[in-house]
Amino acid sequence: MYLNIDSQKEMTYDAIVIGSGVSGGWAAKELTEKGLRVLMLEKGHKLEHVSGYENAMKDPWQTQYNGRLTMEQKETHPKLSRDYPYNEMTEKYWMNDSDSLYKEVKRFDWYRPNIVGGKSIMWGRQSYRLSDIDFEANLKDGVAVDWPIRYKDIAPWYSYVEKIAGISGEKLGLPQLPDSEFLPPMDMYCVEKEVRKRIEKNFPGRTMTIGRVANLSKPTTVQINNGRAACQFRNKCSLGCPFGAYFSTQSCTLPPAVKTGRLTLRPESVVTNLIYDENKKKATGVRVIDAVTLEEKIYNAGLIFVCGSALGTTAILLNSTSNRFPNGFGNDSGELGHNLMDHHFRVGASGTWEGDEDKYYFGRRANGIYIPRYRNIGNDKRDYLRGFGYQGGGSRSGWQRNVAELSFGADFKEELTKPGPWSMGLGGFGETLPYHENKMYLDFKEKDKWGMPLVVFDAELKENERKMRVDMGNDAAEMLEKAGVKNVKINDRGSWLGMAIHEMGTARMGRDPKTSVLNGNNQVHACKNVFVTDGACMTSASCVNPSLTYMALTARAADFAVKEKKKGNI
Amino acid sequence: MNRRDAIQQVALLLGTMISAPTMAGVLGQKTNLGESVLVSAEQEALLAEVADVIIPTTSTPGAKAAGVEKFIVRVMRDCYPKEDQEAFYTGLTKLNSESKSKFGKGFSELNGTQKIEMVKHTTSNDKPFFLRMKELTVTGYFTSEIGAKQALEYLPIPGRFEGCVPLKPGQKAWAL
């Protein structure tokens, strides 16, 4: 074999990070800051901080369709257009359906970003800690396998990432929802303040707080020095924030990584597989297909962090076969691709609020309220396992409201220029159990344009989730009614896996290599120089939004990996 | 970075990046596969007249002044299937021909009272047309520069959030 030594050197790094989203960004930051030369590979295109957010500062009249999708977009994006995250303003941030080929034995909504920063640009920014109620749940319930870590293992790392990322919220001291290192909480609407009081009075053990959100309500010196400014309350976060006011790779983790001079970021790089050296018993690098030219490249490194978003990560691992790993990388347990989870949601209740006609608000809060889980905690016992939290909030309608259907003219116009009635709604986010039979796998006979075998999804919500959903609707209605909300209606718009974009599992952490893919440090049991720190690692789903946990686990794993590297263990 | 610096930096960065033609090209480059109903200049002018009855000039300019017909034509062309477009423009044509049979003049030539009478007629005679026309007019108007800034209160960068403040007498609804 002809070896171009210079080029070989150029293609060799201390570490490779696959993916540039929430987890990949943290991996790149932590590893470069600890002195490693890092190559970060991202399949999507470049998205420059601030100047790349083309729609972020547009006025409504500068859009074409006020956010609507065109017929062509609907026809060419039959899967993406199933729900709201794909719209006129975010079109460029998502992968085309024609590139994002996958198969559904059962319906699965796969939202795949196509940009540097990944979903850290469009995420909902809700940020909550898991608790020991979550970490102990599988063990206590006899479900799946036990988490190999407990809250005390991750708590300092939550604190570490929160102080950098910036999480705004209110301290509550709840065992099921540990407090973060908070920036000041955002304000509530009058209706929310009143509903909170009445819920707490009528339902001991339940509370309502303002959403805990990764927006800088009041930036610290660390955050200001990182080039970030306070939230301007425009509520346009998902377009990219020109003020760097919410956590994204671009606003928070990329600048310090770039500053070290040790980061190489290569967009439009589709990683197809890891390369395993049977003699060294280590991964030695990755194979990359250039997303545009389709040219093949091999990059080498002694340490690999796979952060390709849960399902992207597992697709790469399943496609990384060798003599040692005939069924996918690190897949001695056979669990790779299994235990696929997402939150189930789109069920709750809402109604109208009479009063407060003389009250209004100033600014647009990109956040709602949160009701922490209260089911199956303490003495509460339901006919299903686990629980749910609620997101939601009050609002005062504006011109969008439907006033007398057939009215028009001067009076109609004047009416719409005034604020309308208040309303209040709650929507549940429920935990989904890790079922072995809920899985993804590869169809090696069919490939996408980069030669990746197509992912096949075969996963569904089951009895436990269905029972929980009944509570999610009824409880919401009951709380709202007791709080004095009128015309309360339960809604259940149906939930399909993938839709909450909280994909988890498929390469779970565990104590035993025979039943899990990763150990308690997010390290592949069977190959110590490969780490997986995105949603794929989750052993159970909790009911809280998961991104903050990926941040903490990534920083923790990076710290462990560099220590191990220094000891010569990897 | 304080608030003023932050806004300035953003304006600078975006100002140099996004020129007017680029801005126009950023979105909406895709259209509905060429299978659209062709809309004549007369039809577009007629849309403006009908829209101006739904949202007339009062103490603030109305739908015609805001150029709502352009939004309606664009959204109908690109965001609706052809059969919906046909039904919509058939409704528009019908409104005009019924104006002629009732008043001997096309809709645009009617006086204010007659126009209102004709639009009222569509609410029972062709409700689907009326509701779609109304929805597009309302959206187009309140997201236009005139609608957002004059009929409503427009504040693109609030800079702070207060959830529970008194509504001032005569205060308009927020545009966003």
B136 neighbors B71 (Cβ within 8 angstroms): yes
Instruction: Indicate whether A6 pLDDT > 60.
Output: no
Q: Which residues of B touch A409 (CB under 8 A)?
A: 53-54, 56, 116
Mean pLDDT of A191-213: 98
Residue in A61, A227, A359 nearest the CB of B148? A61
pLDDT-based confidence at residue A220 (cuts at 50, 70, 90): very high
Instruction: Indicate whether B101 pLDDT > 60.
Output: yes
Percentage of chain B modeled with pLDDT above 90: 78
Distance CA B152, CA B142 (A): 8
Q: Which of A79-93, A216-230, A367-381, A388-402 has the lowest mean pLDDT?
A: A79-93
Q: Which of A59-68, A384-393, B89-98 has the lowest mean pLDDT?
A: A59-68
Q: What is the pLDDT, as a whole number, of residue B2?
A: 60
A340 neighbors A440 (Cβ within 8 angstroms): yes
pLDDT-based confidence at residue A245 (cuts at 50, 70, 90): very high
A55 neighbors B139 (Cβ within 8 angstroms): no
A215 neighbors A231 (Cβ within 8 angstroms): yes
Q: Which of A130-139, A295-304, A381-390, B13-22 has the lowest mean pLDDT?
A: B13-22
Give strand ranges (E) for A180-326: 182-183, 209-210, 263-266, 269-277, 282-290, 296-306
Q: Give A12's strand partners.
A: A300
pLDDT digits (tens, 9 = 90+) for B141-173: 999 999 999 999 999 999 999 999 999 999 999
CB–CB of B158 and A406 under 8 A?
no
Nearest CA in chain B to A73: B30
pLDDT digits (tens, 9 = 90+) for B108-135: 999 999 999 999 999 999 999 999 999 9
Q: Which of A288-297, A404-413, B32-41, B93-102 has the lowest mean pLDDT?
A: B32-41
pLDDT digits (tens, 9 = 90+) for B62-78: 999 999 999 999 999 99
Rg (CA), chain B: 20
Mean pLDDT of A475-484: 98
Distance CA A173, CA A184 (A): 16
**A:B CB pairs within 8 Å:** 201
User: What's the whole-number average pLDDT of chain A?
Assistant: 96
pLDDT-based confidence at residue B6 (cuts at 50, 70, 90): low
Structure tokens at A60: 């409504």
Minimum distance, in Å, between the CA of residue B89 and any CA atom of chain A: 18
Instruction: Indicate whether B13 pLDDT > 80.
Output: no
Instruction: Indicate whether A567 pLDDT > 60.
Output: yes
Q: Give A518's strand partners.
A: A509, A524
pLDDT-based confidence at residue A402 (cuts at 50, 70, 90): confident
Q: Which of A54-68, A150-164, A380-394 has the lowest mean pLDDT?
A: A54-68
Contact of B152 with chain A, judged by CB distance below 8 Å, is answered with yes
Q: What is the pLDDT, as a whole number, of residue B8?
A: 61
Q: Which of A88-97, A380-389, A411-420 has the lowest mean pLDDT?
A: A88-97
Q: What is the pLDDT, as a whole number, of residue B11?
A: 55
Distance CA A224, CA A551 (A): 20
pLDDT-based confidence at residue A67 (cuts at 50, 70, 90): confident
Q: Which residues of B touch A421 (CB under 8 A)?
A: none
